[in-house]
Amino acid sequence: MKKTLKNKNNLQETRSSSDISQEELADKVNVSVQTIKSIEKGRYKPSDSLALNIARSLNKEVTDIFS
C-alpha cells in the first residue's frame, strides 16, 4: 500500500477563525475553490508566492499557517 504524504498546515483553522469562506479566500488570492480545499486537506503544497498571498489575505505570517 502506497502512503501519501500530506503537507501540514493550519489554513482551515486560520481561515475559519478569520470568518472567511473558502470561496472568499479563493477569490482574494485568485485561485479556484478546489485549490483552497486541496491545500487545506494537505494534498497540494502552495507555491511560496501563493502561500504569501494567502497569509496576507488572512493578516497572518506565512509561518503561522504553513510549516
Q: What is the pLDDT along the chain (67 residues), one digit of tens a residue?
A: 555 556 789 999 999 999 999 999 999 999 999 999 999 999 999 999 999 999 999 999 999 999 8
Beta carbons within 8 Å of 44's beta carbon, 6+ residues apart = 7, 35, 38
Nearest to 18 by CA among 56, 50, 67: 56
Range of the domain at 26: 11-59
Asked if residue 33 lies in contact with residue 3, where contact means CB atoms within 8 angstroms, the answer is no
| Residue 19 counted as domain residue | yes
Count of the separate structural domains present in the chain: 1
Would 1 be classed as within a structural domain? no
3, part of any domain: no
Residues 46 and 33: their CA atoms lie apart, in Å, by 13
The whole-model pTM stands at 0.88
Q: Alpha-carbon dihedral of residues 42, 45, 49, 51, nearest 10 degrees? A: 20
51: CATH: 1.10.260.40
